[in-house]
């Protein structure tokens, strides 16, 4: 029924809203089953819009109590998606009252309840579940909000902007900055505040608050510190100052995504706020820092300048991801951050781009916009900005951004506006560059070379394979950062950027006394798949000598992939080049320990499956897993002495601290432990597990024990210790599924879904187990299809409760086309079963339809 009604929205159909909203005032009387929302809106005709005279407001699941225009009853017609009524073509006052039931809202979109606390999630189209409204980002208005609630259960009442007046059981807030409804937020509950303050560049004193449930107040310090660093960084690097007297963050346990940048009132999944050494890992701290920064940075890139329509989502997300990546690089290590970001890009975005869900950074149509909060919009969107910055240079970038903030503050913009500021600020024509926003698919860049009479030449060829709806592509602008090395390891040409714009293009480098070794695509200067014939020897050379840290790592990664591929296809043993190069890197104390940890890590099974597919081999998940296990064992044996020394030497002297230096040392120590556990009978892991005083060490040891033999005892101990901590328990669930042997993984997951603590309506918990199984490549794809069945069963169950999270997780099946006929059939059958579910949400219906193609 719902599917039949679902219609696609198209970018080309954009039209402005016929009215402007001068002012919005909301009065919300909270009640779990019968919340009343009164809205008063001053409308006036939009001089740049189509003719006024009919009022169309979005609304879903609302019980309309009354509606008036200028005080007289409005003649409204209500349908499933909103209401329509005749309205003056001049300014008028709209008032309406609706009733909603937040306690029944399990979709976690709109106004809902989490552990007795009221909260909201309005992006992208959740505000229409709170009241009738033109719920589109180009409609912006100043809001004032009055909240009323039972003071016994909800002593704290928060909304956007600045607090104005409050009393027992009520509070008023005013947000002077016009904003779209998706940035509206409201929170009410029994919360405690971790308070601090920040003085902005121009001397504004800002009250900062992180609001959490009583008992969690000791876990806010790191997030607060990250917030203050973010605020200072945005002033220093982008000249952006905060613009209200108050900035609040609330941690919520039930949340579909990571966090949300509501104006002055960010709402976070509690896993990205709460941290203590005992309960959070180094990785958690890093994520908290990055996401706190991301949401804060949205205040300018997203809130002050927002999107005209949801097709422009990358305007705020790509840019804000780019900014948070810059920030994290500045706080920690640029080299390690870049490698991490590229790992994520390849694992998520390349995967997406290689399959049926491939879409442009700026899509042209959608059925459910929540399905487009993707790795392509976010991560590829950030890569595109990185390329722009490389092409126009640091100063050009800064000039363009200054112009962007200057010209577009307070507006709802498009990618055209964004590119125009770069053109105007730098004089560069970006017509061809725009293809990065409109063409989907990952460009393949191949390169050949020749060398005669001291002249070295590189011949490039680019091609982007067909993707859904885009059979043919034009050549894109590909910035290739290149350095040349001499055989003695010295750099004969420091990094310069080649701009490839043609399908085939050659570059000449005269005056090369000896044949140079190229270091191509330094820093991963473009999100492409680069292929070049090369020898293991040359890769080992680059791993040893490349002065570009990314390419140094990349050389090792390519070597590892070659070794693994040959182990899978020919049962070949790992060659000496790889192992001796790995030994040199591991022992090189001049290298950042975190870099060495990354160099020692093998490509994931999913990455190998894609790599094999790209070279024309149908991936066998068990064979990949077996090869990776074998290679890990081989590395452990080969490097046992070095790793043992490192493990001992990297033991921390003092108490745990989440600072980058300590975290980097722990990363290498944990990598060493992971390898050593394969040959020491688990003695080190046992000892570390028993002695751990922090979650990084404790969880790292537990992972080794589970992988070795299931780790039953340690798993039970861990559970007893942490049964009361939701976030830690999520890790406990995820680890058991993630590290289960291929043949057991589906059983382990099925057993865990029977556990009393498996609260499947909580998205974090659901993702731990069901997402965890999907992330265990060999386990999910184990012969027989039990993994596919279990995931499909649970997605079908979750869909009516929480369509957004269910739809997002259908992507576990997006790679079905890679595998053998048996697996393809089973995966397709699982997808068909989901598709045939009666009343399937629009969210999941769109996803499954696209995945099946
Ligand atoms: N704007 C948020 C962020 O990236 C993401 C919220 C998306 N939520 C959703 N339901 N689609 O920071
Ligand atoms: Zn964002």
- Of the candidates 526, 153, 590, 149, the one whose C-alpha atom is nearest the C-alpha of residue 345 is 526
- pLDDT tens for each residue of 301-328: 999 999 999 999 999 999 999 999 999 9
Q: What is the number of the ligand 1 atom nearest to the C-alpha of 109?
A: 10
CA distances in angstroms from 230 to 77, 202, 238, 293, 710, listed in the order given: 47, 16, 11, 5, 41
What's the rounded Cα separation, in Å, for the pair 131 and 120? 13
Q: How much is the pLDDT for 5?
A: 56
Establish whether 295 is a catalytic residue: yes
> What is the average per-residue pLDDT within 276-303?
98
Contact 277, 656 (CB under 8 A): yes
- pLDDT tens for each residue of 220-229: 999 999 999 9
| Ligand 1 near 807 CB (within 6 A) | no
| Ligand 1 near 182 CB (within 6 A) | no
| Ligand 1 near 256 CB (within 6 A) | yes
Question: Which protein residue has the closest C-alpha to ligand 1 atom 1?
Answer: 260
What's the rounded Cα separation, in Å, for the pair 265 and 249? 6
Q: How much is the pLDDT for 561?
A: 97
What's the rounded Cα separation, in Å, for the pair 172 and 160? 10
User: Which position has the token pair 């780019």?
Assistant: 322
Q: Tell me the percentage of the chain whose pLDDT exceeds 70.
A: 99
CA distances in angstroms from 132 to 111, 135, 137, 289, 728, listed in the order given: 14, 8, 15, 36, 40
Question: Which protein residue has the closest C-alpha to ligand 1 atom 5?
Answer: 260
| Ligand 1 near 124 CB (within 6 A) | yes
What secondary structure, in 3-state letters, does 725-752 show? Answer: CHHHHHHHHHHHHHCCCCCCHHHHHHHH
What number of other Cβ atoms are within 10 A of residue 555's Cβ?
A: 24
261, 295, 317, 352: the active-site residue: 295
Going from the Cα of 122 to the center of ligand 1, the distance in angstroms, rounded, reads 9
Helix (H, G, I), strand (E, B) or coil at 411: coil
Residue 465 has pLDDT above 90, yes or no: yes
Contact 658, 222 (CB under 8 A): yes
Residue 488 has pLDDT above 70, yes or no: yes
What is 318-357 written as a DSSP string?
A: HHHHHHHHHHHHHHS-HHHHHHHHHHHIIIIIIHHHTSTT
Going from the Cα of 373 to the center of ligand 2, the distance in angstroms, rounded, reads 9
Q: What is the number of the ligand 1 atom nearest to the C-alpha of 291?
A: 12
- Of the candidates 227, 418, 426, the one whose C-alpha atom is nearest the C-alpha of residue 305 is 418
| Ligand 1 near 373 CB (within 6 A) | yes
What number of other Cβ atoms are within 10 A of residue 632's Cβ?
A: 18
Residue to mutate (ligand 1; options 373, 378, 841, 843; most atoms within 8 A of CB)? 373
- Of the candidates 101, 97, 113, the one whose C-alpha atom is nearest the C-alpha of residue 188 is 113
What's the rounded Cα separation, in Å, for the pair 793 and 26? 41
Q: What is the number of the ligand 1 atom nearest to the C-alpha of 369?
A: 11
Here the tokens at position 13 are: 């159909």
What's the rounded Cα separation, in Å, for the pair 437 and 417? 13
Going from the Cα of 37 to the center of ligand 2, the distance in angstroms, rounded, reads 28
- Of the candidates 371, 250, 389, 256, the one whose C-alpha atom is nearest the C-alpha of residue 318 is 389
Give the number of C-alpha atoms closer than 13 A to the C-alpha of residue 267, restricted to the C-beta side: 30
- pLDDT tens for each residue of 40-81: 999 999 999 999 999 999 999 999 999 999 999 999 999 999
Going from the Cα of 317 to the center of ligand 2, the distance in angstroms, rounded, reads 5
Question: Which protein residue has the closest C-alpha to ligand 1 atom 6?
Answer: 260
Here the tokens at position 367 are: 């059925």
| Ligand 1 near 379 CB (within 6 A) | no
* Interhelix angle 334-344/313-331, nearest 10 degrees: 140
Residue 4 has pLDDT above 50, yes or no: no
User: Which position has the token pair 């198209």?
Assistant: 10
What is 129-162 written as a DSSP string?
A: GTS-B--STT--EEEEEEEE--TTT--EEEESSE
Give the number of the ligand closest to the Cα of residue 180. 1
**Single pTM value for the model:** 0.98
| Ligand 1 near 843 CB (within 6 A) | no
| pLDDT-based confidence at residue 288 (cuts at 50, 70, 90) | very high
> What is the average per-residue pLDDT within 644-660?
95
DSSP 364: S
Helix (H, G, I), strand (E, B) or coil at 117: strand
Backbone torsions φ then ψ of 34, nearest 5 degrees: -145, 70
CA distances in angstroms from 759 to 37, 254, 292, 437, 762, listed in the order given: 31, 11, 27, 40, 6
Contact 250, 723 (CB under 8 A): no
CA distances in angstroms from 232 to 198, 229, 334, 385, listed in the order given: 9, 5, 19, 22
Going from the Cα of 380 to the center of ligand 2, the distance in angstroms, rounded, reads 13
| Ligand 1 near 125 CB (within 6 A) | no
Q: How much is the pLDDT for 3?
A: 43
Q: ipTM of the predicted structure? A: 0.98
Q: What is the number of the ligand 1 atom nearest to the C-alpha of 317?
A: 4
Residue 531 has pLDDT above 50, yes or no: yes
> What is the average per-residue pLDDT within 491-514?
97
Give the number of the ligand closest to the Cα of residue 843. 1
- pLDDT tens for each residue of 89-148: 999 999 999 999 999 999 999 999 999 999 999 999 999 999 999 999 999 999 999 999
- pLDDT tens for each residue of 727-746: 999 999 999 999 999 999 99
DSSP 602: P
What's the rounded Cα separation, in Å, for the pair 428 and 710? 58
- pLDDT tens for each residue of 195-233: 999 999 999 999 999 999 999 999 999 999 999 999 999
The β-bridge partners of 79 are 82
Question: Which protein residue has the closest C-alpha to ligand 1 atom 7?
Answer: 123
């Amino acid at each position: 029924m719902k599917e039949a009604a679902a219609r696609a929205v198209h970018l080309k159909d954009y039209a402005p809203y016929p009215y402007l909203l001068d002012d919005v005032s909301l009065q919300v009387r909270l009640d779990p089953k019968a919340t009343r929302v009164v809205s008063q809106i001053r409308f006036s005709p939009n001089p740049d819009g189509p003719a006024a005279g009919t009022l169309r407001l979005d609304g879903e699941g609302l019980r309309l109590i009354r509606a008036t225009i200028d005080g007289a009853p409005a003649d409204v017609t209500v349908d499933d998606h909103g209401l329509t009524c005749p309205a003056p073509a001049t300014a008028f006052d709209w008032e309406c009252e609706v009733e909603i039931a937040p306690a029944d809202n399990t979709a976690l979109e709109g106004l809902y309840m989490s552990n007795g606390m009221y909260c909201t999630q309005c992006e992208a189209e959740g505000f229409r579940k709170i009241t009738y409204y033109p719920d589109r980002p180009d409609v912006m208005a100043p809001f004032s909000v009055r909240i009323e609630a039972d003071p016994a259960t909800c002593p704290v009442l928060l909304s956007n902007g600045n607090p104005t007046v409050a009393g027992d059981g009520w509070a008023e807030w005013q947000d002077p900055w016009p904003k779209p409804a998706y940035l509206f937020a409201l929170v009410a509950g029994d919360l405690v505040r971790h308070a601090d303050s920040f003085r902005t560049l121009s001397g504004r004193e800002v009250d900062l608050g992180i609001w959490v449930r009583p008992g969690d107040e000791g876990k806010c310090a790191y997030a607060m510190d990250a917030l203050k660093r973010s605020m200072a960084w945005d002033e220093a690097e982008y000249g952006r100052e905060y613009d209200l007297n108050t900035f609040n963050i609330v941690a919520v346990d039930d949340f579909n995504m990571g966090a949300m940048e509501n104006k002055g009132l960010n709402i976070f999944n509690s896993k990205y706020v709460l941290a203590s050494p005992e309960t959070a890992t180094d990785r958690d701290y890093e994520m908290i820092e990055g996401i706190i920064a991301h949401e804060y940075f949205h205040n300018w890139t997203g809130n002050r300048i927002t999107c005209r329509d949801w097709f422009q989502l990358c305007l705020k997300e790509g840019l804000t991801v780019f900014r948070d990546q810059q920030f994290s690089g500045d706080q920690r290590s640029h080299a390690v951050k870049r490698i991490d970001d590229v790992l994520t890009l390849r694992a998520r975005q390349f995967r997406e781009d290689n399959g049926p869900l491939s879409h442009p950074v700026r899509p042209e149509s959608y059925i459910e916009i929540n399905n487009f909060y993707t790795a392509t919009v976010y991560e590829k969107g950030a890569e595109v900005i990185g390329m722009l910055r490389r092409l126009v240079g640091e100063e050009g970038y800064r000039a363009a951004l200054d112009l962007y903030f200057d010209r577009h503050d307070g507006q709802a913009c498009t990618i055209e506006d964004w590119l125009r500021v770069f053109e105007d600020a730098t004089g560069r024509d970006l017509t061809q560059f725009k293809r990065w926003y409109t063409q989907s698919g990952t460009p393949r860049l191949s390169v050949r070379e020749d060398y005669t009479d001291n002249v070295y030449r590189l011949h490039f060829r680019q091609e982007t394979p067909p993707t859904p709806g885009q059979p043919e592509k034009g050549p894109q602008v590909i910035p290739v950062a290149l350095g040349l090395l001499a055989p003695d390891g010295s750099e004969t040409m420091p990094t310069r950027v080649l701009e490839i714009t043609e399908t085939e293009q050659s570059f000449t480098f005269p005056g090369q006394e000896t044949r140079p070794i190229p270091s191509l695509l330094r820093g991963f200067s473009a999100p492409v798949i680069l292929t070049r014939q090369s020898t293991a020897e040359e890769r080992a050379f680059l791993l040893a000598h490349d002065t570009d840290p990314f390419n140094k790592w990349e050389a090792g990664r390519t070597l590892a992939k070659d070794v693994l591929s040959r182990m899978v296809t020919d049962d070949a043993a790992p060659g000496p080049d790889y192992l001796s190069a790995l030994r040199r890197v591991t022992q090189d104390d001049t290298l950042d320990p975190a870099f060495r940890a990354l160099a020692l890590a093998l490509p994931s099974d999913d990455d190998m499956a894609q790599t094999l597919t790209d070279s024309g081999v149908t991936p066998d998940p068990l064979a990949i897993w077996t090869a990776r296990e074998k290679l890990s064992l081989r590395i452990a044996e080969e490097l046992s002495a070095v790793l043992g020394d490192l493990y001992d030497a990297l033991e921390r002297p003092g108490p745990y601290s989440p600072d980058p230096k300590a975290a980097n040392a722990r990363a290498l120590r944990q990598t060493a432990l992971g390898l050593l556990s394969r040959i020491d009978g688990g003695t080190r892991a046992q000892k570390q597990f028993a002695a751990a005083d922090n979650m990084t060490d404790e969880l790292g040891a537990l992972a080794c024990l589970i992988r070795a033999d299931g780790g039953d005892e340690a798993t039970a101990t861990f559970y007893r210790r942490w049964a009361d901590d939701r976030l830690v328990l999520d890790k406990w669930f995820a680890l058991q599924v993630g590290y289960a042997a291929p043949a057991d993984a589906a059983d382990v997951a099925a057993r865990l879904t029977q556990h009393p603590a498996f609260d499947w309506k909580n998205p974090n918990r659901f993702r731990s187990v069901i997402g965890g199984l999907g992330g265990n490549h060999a386990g999910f794809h184990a012969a027989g299809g039990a993994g596919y069945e279990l995931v499909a069963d649970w997605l079908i169950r979750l869909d009516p409760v929480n369509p957004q999270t269910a739809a997002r997780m259908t992507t576990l099946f997006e790679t079905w086309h890679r595998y053998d006929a048996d697996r393809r059939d089973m995966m397709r059958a699982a997808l068909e079963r989901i598709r045939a579910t009666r009343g399937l949400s629009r969210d999941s219906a769109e996803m499954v339809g696209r995945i099946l193609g």
